[in-house]
Structure formats: structure tokens, C-alpha cells
Amino acid sequence: MALDLFTVGDPIADTKAPRDVPIGERWSERRFRAKLVNPANRRKLTVIVVGTGLAGGSAAATLGEAGYKVKSFWYQDSPRRAHSVAAQGGINAAKNYRNDGDSVHRLFYDTVKGGDFRAREDNVHRLAEVSVNIIDQCVAQGVPFAREYGGLLDNRSFGGTQVSRTFYARGQTGQQLLYGAYQALERQMAAGTVEQFPRTEMLDLIVVDGRARGIVARDLITGEISTHFADAVVLATGGYSNVFYLSTNAKGSNATAIWRAHKRGALFANPCYTQIHPTCIPVHGEYQSKLTLMSESLRNDGRVWVPKERGDTRDPRQIPEDERDYYLERIYPSFGNLVPRDIASRQAKNVCDEGRGVGPNGLGVYLDFAEAMQRLGRPAIEAKYGNLFDMYAQITGEDPYEVPMRIYPAVHYTMGGLWVDYDLQSNVPGLFVIGEANFSDHGANRLGASALMQGLADGYFVLPNTINDYLASGPFDKVDPQHPAAVEALEGVRAQTEKLLSINGNRTTASFHRELGRLMFDLCGMERSEESLRKALDRIPEIRQEFWTNVKVPGEAGRFNQSLEHAGRVADFIELAELMCVDALHRNESCGGHFRAESQTPDGEALRDDENFAYVAAWEWTPEGVPPVLHKEDLEFEYVHLAQRSYK
């Protein structure tokens, strides 16, 4: 591809993981080599943590418990409303309670393979190691995991594995884990180690002498824009799926914090790696504003199928077994309905493209529990999935105990994010990025039940150890609101706010967001091609130009104004969408959730190009009109050998 859309800069590498010891010893060795901060000095150091989901809530609580002064920012009214609360199916851990062959190494292997060999081995192995501690931590906090009859913690399976390693609390695992982190955070607030800033949104990063030293934030109730300072800044603000408008994310989920940090120098890695979840309630209307996830755990007992014949509109209960195509079981006999998300999503799209989809618009497949209820009985299904079945019935008006669910893929998770090293520090010293906001652990596809695992691993166990090494050099020179860098950042935020309010055009922010989302899903969604991506890259600058000349943002700056909030976020989504398409166009291979139509095997599977693309793509921001700069981090595989991914 001609380098008309980007330039290539210097390579980048992670230098923090100790490569002189075996991979199983690198995390303990890194902790030993890292500098420490004694308890008396911790009281002199301040850390800003933005976000209170599983990663941010656990990090703020743990840092407060360690004795640091923590400032915790969130834009909801309560930390309990962070989007982690919506996670359903479970959290992975390599405890091998089922004695079915699981181990730290197997979880490591499954995660690297599931990510289609586009993740760092060092980070993934550490995640697998730490996973076993997370469950003990959460049980001690009182998280009500499901238990077997004898009282032992229960497990179930998720896609991409052949063992049962997923711990769960019915279909409310994220909620229960978040409440555990929230209680720990509340304890530190009461103790005075954590200062809280609710209903406050970060709008810029303050960088002083090359270090992250604070943020600019807006009080969403009063409209006041202010600066806040610390010795280090931690971003735990989640992913950017809402660039697609329709996604399973909460409507408030956005990319502003990480995108503004990117514009201050933080590299953005692998933005094209987005995940389409195969198990969502299909779109039902033109003006629908979000999609609803049905947990992947349902694929443990539910069987996915479509009619064998095109255009078969009979009641699914009237279609005989020999006229059904259980296509995942047919194509992937080893894994069946538990293939990874990217594969299940593409196959659902394929059968619908063939004209065998079900439902009013033909964009759906059946998820059928008839066989499971006959085998296990309805009470067992209710105990495992009852709240999910109730949710489905309330949304669709159909009883899934009687009629198969209808599901279709939807945008769910983003594997890309700000580039970080083994310490979870970005290339901007003092800026740490955790959870879904970074790129580090999932490669090109996240296995189900691994998001909660990464968020809690980063917050409870990884960051509190690695941030010490950086803070041991502090406290740094005091920064106050009069510092030129702080003044410049504050004035920049105010200027953008005033500009958005002054345009007074004819189109709503939502109309721009909806148009952008539809364009991204159609041209940079489940399947991308050079043709579709170049179409997107032709249109996105036009959308940006029209946005900044024709958007209408009602209200005022100095008061509660959700239209203004949304406008700033959509402005960032437009810029991010362009980088996503550039990244997808430059990566002329298929891997995981990034599926290029030109790069597939004869049977339609993703075809990687390891010779040319076995690297992390870390992008440097450049002003409008200047092509972004690509920095490559080569991926090395010592313990999981590169191979064509197969689940057959």
C-alpha cells in the first residue's frame, strides 16, 4: 500500500519485561527489580485515577490502601454505574477446579491463540498467573460466585477453550465484581486516602516537561472547567466501541480520555482491532440507540442453528431436526458452539448473507435451549441463566423457555487502546493505562470472560506493583494552575467548548454519530476490504468538516448540558474512526476480529501474514492534514509457536 495515508517512524519496544529469565519467572522478577516507595513517602505522593470500573475502582482502592493520596474521577453519579456493571457471563481463572486439564500455561496458550497471535507473550502469561489470585481476592470480598451442591465454586466454559475455567454469578458477574471493588473503594474514601470527584469528565491531559502531571476536567453539573495535579495519572476509562454508535456498551461510554491523551503524545495501538460479539439481540428499528448483549455463557447449553433452506419462515418449533443446520457444530466439531467470538460472528454473518437468517429482517440466528431443558430440566436452566432469559423476554416479548432466542453479532469490545509497556505505562512517562483502555493482553480477539480478568488483574495486582518503580523517583516538582502547560490545556478545553456552542448549525450531534456509526459498521465492521476502507477514508473527513460547521449544540457551557458532553465525544469519535480505518487499511492481512476480504483461506477463515504483520501498530498523533506516524513493535513468540488458528 502506498504510504499516502501514513509515514513510518522509529520502531518501539517494551523494555520492562525481564527477558533474561524464563517467562514463568518474569513477573516475579520484575516485581523484585522494581524500586519501592516506603510507607512514609507514599503519603507525599498523589495519583489521579480516571474511571471507576473494575480496573479503575480496584486500582484506586488498592493504591489508597497502600497509602498513596488518590484522586478518583468518574462521570457517573456513582462508581457502581461504571459499564463493568453490565458484564454478564463470568471471569476466567486457571484454578483447574474441574480437574479437566487446565493450568496457567493452558490459559496463556488459549489467550495467545485466541488473539490470533497478535498479543505479547509476556503480558498474557502474567495475566494467566495473576488470574488465580483474583478469585481468592473476590471471594474474600464477598462476591457471591455460583457454587456447586457441595459448596465449591462452580465453573463453566466460554468460547475458544475446551476446559471449564469461568467463574460466574448467574448472568450478573460484572455487577457483583464491581460491587466488590466499589466497597473497597468506599472504604478508602471513608479513610481519607481517596478523594472523590463524581460527575466529572476528563477533557485533557496536562504534560509538564514530558511527564503526565494532571488533567483538565469539567464538572458535568455546574459546567466548571478546572485543573487537577498529581505525580502520576492512571486512565481506566474503557474502550471505544461506541464509535460504531450501535454497540453493547452503555451510551455514555466514550473514547475522550484516551483520545485526548493520544493527542498529547501517547501512542494509540491497534485501533482496528474491534470485537463483534456473536450473541446479541438483533437490531429492531431504525432509531434504536444501543444493542443488548446476551451472555456468551448461553452458548454452553444453547445450540446455534438456522434452517437449511433459504427463506424458511416457519415457527422454529415446527422445523424438524433434519431441516436444521447446526452450523457451528458442523463446521467446528471439536469446539462446536464454543468457538471464539470472531469466528462465531463471521459464520452467523455468512449464513445470513446466504439468505438463511431468521427474524423480520433476516439478520438473526437461533440460540435454542430445547435440548438442554430436556436434558437438565427447566429449574437447572433457570438457576444458571434465569436473569438473562427474563431480560430477553422483557426486550423482545418472546419467552425463550418456549421459543428459541434470536441473536445476531454486534460491536462489543475493543482490543486496541493506548500503547503500554510491561509496567502498564504509556510512552508518556507518568501516564499509566489499565483495563480495556490499553491494548496489551488480547491481541486481535478477546476470549470471552477475559475482560473482567484483565481489569481486576491490572487494578488489584499489576499496577500497584509497577507504578511504585515510577513514583520512587518522586515527588516531582510542584505544578500549580499557573504553570504554562496547565494554562494552555485549560484554555484549549475552553476554546473547544466555546466553538462547539457557537456553530449553531442545523444537524444534531446524534445525527452525526449515527451516520458515522453506520459508515464504520458497513465499511470497517465484521469484514473490511481496501475498497470499503478507502470509501470510509473519503467520507470521514467530509463528516468532520460538516460537523465543525453545521452541528447544533444547544444550551450553555456553565451548566448541566448533556448535548455539549455528547458533542465533544462525537468530535473525538470522528477523529478516532479515521485512524481506525487507516490502521485497518495498512494491515493487509486477516487476524482475529480484523477480517480483510482479500486475505482468507479457501474455507473462509482468517489468513494472517506473519512475515509482514507480526507487530503491534502504535500510532503517533499528528495535526489534521499531516499523515499519522506508524511505530512498529515486533512480536516475538518463544513459547507459543505461530500456527494457523484452527478450532475444527
Which region holds residue 470: left if phi is over 0, alpha if psi is between -120 and 50, else beta? alpha
CA distance 431 to 293: 32
C-alpha cell at 277: 460479539
Report how far apart, in Å, the C-alpha atoms of 293 and of each of 157, 276, 316, 545, 587 are. 18, 11, 22, 34, 29
User: 328, 339 in Cβ contact below 8 A?
Assistant: yes
CA distance 511 to 45: 45
Count of C-beta atoms within a 10 Å radius of residue 464: 18
At residue 203, φ and ψ (nearest 5 deg) are: -120, -10
C-alpha cell at 436: 480495556
Give the residue from 197, 248, 222, 191 showing the smallest Cα distance to 52: 197
Count of C-beta atoms within a 10 Å radius of residue 360: 10
Strand residues in 308-396 grouped as ranges (E): 324-325, 365-368
- Reduced to 3 states (helix: H, G, I; strand: E, B; else coil), residue 495 is helix
Active-site positions?
A: 341
What percentage of the chain's residues is helix, strand, coil (to nearest 5)?
40, 15, 40
Helices (H) and strands (E) in the chain, counts: 18, 22
Burial, 589: exposed, middle or buried (Cβ in 10 Å; 0-12, 13-18, 19+)? Answer: buried
Q: Name the amino acid, one letter, at 215.
A: I
At residue 328, φ and ψ (nearest 5 deg) are: -70, -40
C-alpha cell at 523: 465499511
Count of C-beta atoms within a 10 Å radius of residue 190: 9
Q: Read out DSSP for 224-280?
A: -EEEEE-SEEEE-----GGGGSSSSS-TT--SHHHHHHHHTT--EE-TT-EEEEEEE
Q: Residue with C-alpha cell 493452558? A: 106
Burial, 198: exposed, middle or buried (Cβ in 10 Å; 0-12, 13-18, 19+)? Answer: middle
DSSP state of 323: G
- 413: which strand partners? 275
CA distance 377 to 100: 25
